[in-house]
Amino acid sequence: MTRDICVVVPTVREHECVRAYAENAREHGFDLDRLQFVLVTEDRCETDAMARLLDEEGLSGEVFDGSARERWYRQQGIAEYEHVVPAASHAETSFGLLYLWAGDYEYGVFIDDDTRPHSEYDFFGCHLRNLAYEGEVTSVRSDERWVNVLYRNADDHGLYPRGYPYSAMGETVETETRYVDDVVASQGLWTNVPDLDAVRILMDGDLRGQARTRLDAADYGEDFVAAPGQYLTVCSMNLAFRREVVPAFYQLPMDDNPWDVGRFDDIWSGVFLKRACDVLGKQVYNGTPLCEHNKAPRSTFGDLTNEVPGLELNEHVWEIVDSVEPAVPRAARTAEPSDDAGGDADAYAGIYRAMADAMVAAERDYENAEFLAYVGEHMHDWLDALGEIRPGVGTAERAPADD
């Protein structure tokens, strides 16, 4: 079997999670030879122990602390783009995307180290079946144009996930059945500790960064997609995707920036991805396989400090993206999946560059509005880095900056 799945695990604490996912694969008969693990960590962490774990489990993979990442950038000839992956941030998952892009992997999987798979699900197999799914599925929309991925039991628990705009709360939800046949991302949801922002955790009465409310499998119903023109939060703790989306799936430069904006890397990347999917007629599938989220206790106020600089921006980023009308050749909307240096990947890159231009040009009277242009420039650099690794994708000229 070809090693065609790149599994990216950002970890500084719980690298033992890899054993649980390997055991799940064995229990369900999933071929571990298909998996290449990429553990993204820091120089201060136990890289030798992580490498031993991979050997003990018989897994193919590599461990990249900061020094190893610097060497890899030089080897790939992209040292000038090292800044696109922020230091000491969860957004270092972007390094895993670069690694995938440089290899011949058809799929990527993101796994957070504070999660564990539910034994009843074939974790990797379920994600791949979602990505290959063709048929009818529940389609969800709201009058606020945002879908709460926890919508099914929201009347009981009242939860909205991290990154859901406060202005879109109190929405009216509608569901219907829709036929889908081009799924490019599979978002597995989570039990135990909900993925909330710090404000909502405080409202739930918890000072330890977790929330008192807990979720279980009964809080979820059928798998679903967000209808075209609707947005949703995309959390990278349990996520699989096709290679073609990488140009439009950069995990944004959080934490390590002059404005101290953090905690929205996967949220905003999901907004950009959903807009690209809508333009191209693709789908983000949500629901199973569930994972158990065992978030470690930490100060809720620490998370709040990281989130506050970006809270107002989060209310509006989707509006900027939604206003973009990229010119996409009609053939790109109907093309069959193609090789890694053209076809769908080119289409995603073109759409992403248009969104980057919009971020750079955005002039808004928001708190830390200058961060929008910073993000847009990094989005451009992301495409340029991909073009250096695989010439031909993401290399179109940038729009000229306003004086």
* Integer-rounded Cα radius of gyration of the chain: 20
96-108 tens-digit pLDDT: 999 999 999 999 9
| Contacts of residue 29, Cβ cutoff 8 Å, sequence gap at least 6 | 122
**Looking at per-residue confidence, does 338 or 317 come out higher?**
317
Contact between 282 and 113 under an 8 Å Cβ cutoff? The reply is: no
160-212 tens-digit pLDDT: 999 999 999 999 999 999 999 999 999 999 999 999 999 999 999 999 999 99
Instruction: Say which range, 15-29, 55-69, 389-403, has the weakest mean pLDDT.
Output: 389-403
Say how many Å lie between the first and final Cα of the chain, rounded: 54
The residue among 188, 131, 194 whose CA lies nearest residue 161 is 194
Give the percent of the chain with pLDDT over 90.
89
Average pLDDT over residues 347-361: 96
272-306 tens-digit pLDDT: 999 999 999 999 999 999 999 999 999 999 999 99
Contact between 125 and 30 under an 8 Å Cβ cutoff? The reply is: yes
Query: What is the length of the chain?
Result: 403
Q: What is the pLDDT of residue 364?
A: 81
Per-residue pLDDT at 397 exceeds 70:
no
Phi then psi for residue 281, to 5 deg, are 75, 30
Confidence band (pLDDT; 50, 70, 90) for 400? low
Per-residue pLDDT at 392 exceeds 90:
no
Helix residue ranges per DSSP H, 191-264: 198-203
Report the distance separating Cα 280 and Cα 270, nearest Å.
Answer: 15
Cα dist from 287 to 130, 196, 243, whole Å: 10, 17, 21
Please list the residues that pair with 176 across neighbouring strands.
139
The DSSP 8-state label assigned to residue 162 in this structure reads T
Give the CA diameter of the chain. Answer: 60
Q: What is the pLDDT of residue 395?
A: 53
Cα dist from 291 to 5, 30, 99, 237, whole Å: 19, 17, 25, 9
Q: Where are the domains of the chain?
A: 5-389
Dihedral sign for Cα atoms in the order 295, 300, 301, 303: positive
Report the distance separating Cα 123 and Cα 209, nearest Å.
Answer: 27
Amino acid at 121: Y
Q: Which CATH number applies to 5-389?
A: 3.90.550.10
Give the percent of the chain with pLDDT over 70.
93
Q: What is the pLDDT of residue 345?
A: 87
331-343 tens-digit pLDDT: 454 444 344 434 5
Instruction: Count other C-beta atoms under 10 Å from residue 385's C-beta.
Output: 25
> Is the pTM value of this prediction over 0.85?
yes
